[in-house]
């Protein structure tokens, strides 16, 4: 019989494809999922060669349960199937309702779709090599960028010359205007809430983030569009609409 949890707390399962990624990604994944709820499952899947050495140290230190999967035949990876079965079992047993898969392997795209069809939320933490098929199969994709290798030790005799950080290049993707036009077009006042706009952009592109386009927040990003209007009536909620033609906007 499934264990029913009635606290209303979001339960997160972090399942790591150790054969496909590196141990350095684990801490980043845990920081990402901390915003969604309490992590109730931490498991790392791989064969004997994978789970030794660096992976063993990382799994032990971060309290992950190692799930060793022997290869029954040369070149056959059995860890993927074990991860997928454990994820479905955890969902059906109501042990987790949100899943974070740490992988860049597109083979897990079908698992993501099946979990979401059953009402689960799925996040992917992967590397830049993650294909679109996997990114778009998730509710949200988080890209892990490996830290840059440490340079040569500084010479104390040489004065340090401060290097000014390059300002981020601010961009205005047309997808934002299209989203506002679509969402606001069906409303009586021709406006859409900023929160609803952000949710829509994230659903259409799980990797969407204003920071990727050089903006601190979505509100800052919207303000840069000549064709968009943003107002806050009565100080409650921020609304976005397309500026009427002839009102100073671009045509």
Mean pLDDT, consecutive 10-residue stretches, the chain (251 aa), reads: 57 95 93 90 93 92 92 76 96 96 96 97 95 94 83 62 68 88 86 90 84 89 92 83 71 36
Query: What confidence score (pLDDT) does residue 116 get?
Result: 97
Cα dihedral across residues 21, 26, 30, 32: positive or negative: negative
Q: Is 15 helix (H, G, I), strand (E, B) or coil?
A: strand
Radius of gyration of the chain (CA): 22
Walk me through the domains of the chain, giving residue ranges and CATH numbers. Answer: 11-143 (3.40.50.1010), 174-242 (3.30.420.610)
User: What distance in Å separates the CA atoms of residue 200 and residue 183, rounded to the nearest whole number?
Assistant: 9
Using alpha carbons, select from 87, 94, 72, 75 the residue that is nearest to residue 17.
87
Query: What confidence score (pLDDT) does residue 95 get?
Result: 95
User: What distance in Å separates the CA atoms of residue 1 and residue 220, rounded to the nearest whole number?
Assistant: 50
User: What distance in Å separates the CA atoms of residue 35 and residue 16, rounded to the nearest whole number?
Assistant: 18
Measured CA to CA in angstroms, residue 105 lies from 12, 16, 111, 208 at distances of 20, 11, 11, 20
Q: Is the pTM of this model over 0.85?
A: no
Using alpha carbons, select from 58, 60, 82, 86 the residue that is nearest to residue 71.
82
Q: Could you tell me which residues are beta bridge partners of residue 121?
A: 98
Q: Is 201 helix (H, G, I), strand (E, B) or coil?
A: helix
Query: What confidence score (pLDDT) does residue 251 get?
Result: 36
- The structure tokens listed for 142 are 């988080």
Query: What confidence score (pLDDT) does residue 156 get?
Result: 65
Query: What confidence score (pLDDT) does residue 4 get?
Result: 46
Query: What confidence score (pLDDT) does residue 160 get?
Result: 64
User: What distance in Å separates the CA atoms of residue 39 and residue 58, rounded to the nearest whole number?
Assistant: 17
- The structure tokens listed for 39 are 């992590």
């Amino acid at each position: 019989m499934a264990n029913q949890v009635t606290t209303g707390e979001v339960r997160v399962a972090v399942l790591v494809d150790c054969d496909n990624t590196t141990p350095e990604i684990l801490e980043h994944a845990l920081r990402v999922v901390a915003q969604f709820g309490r992590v109730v499952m931490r498991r790392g899947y791989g064969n004997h060669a994978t789970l030794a050495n660096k992976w063993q140290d990382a799994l032990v230190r971060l309290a992950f349960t190692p799930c060793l999967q022997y290869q029954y035949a040369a070149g056959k990876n059995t860890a993927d199937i074990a991860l997928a079965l454990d994820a479905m079992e955890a969902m059906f047993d109501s042990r987790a309702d949100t899943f974070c898969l740490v992988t860049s392997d597109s083979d897990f795209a079908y698992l993501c779709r099946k979990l979401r069809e059953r009402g689960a939320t799925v996040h992917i933490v992967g590397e830049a090599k993650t294909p679109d098929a996997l990114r778009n199969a998730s509710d949200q994709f988080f890209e892990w960028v490996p830290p840059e290798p440490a340079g040569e030790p500084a010479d104390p005799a040489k004065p340090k010359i401060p290097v000014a950080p390059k300002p981020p290049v601010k961009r205005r993707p047309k997808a934002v205007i299209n989203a506002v036009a679509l969402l606001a077009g069906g409303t009586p006042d021709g406006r859409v809430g900023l929160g609803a706009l952000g949710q829509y952009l994230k659903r259409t592109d799980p990797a969407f983030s204003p920071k990727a386009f050089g903006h601190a927040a979505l509100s800052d990003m919207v303000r840069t569009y000549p064709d968009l209007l943003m107002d806050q009536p009565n100080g409650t909620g921020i609304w976005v609409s397309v500026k009427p033609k002839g009102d100073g906007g671009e045509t």
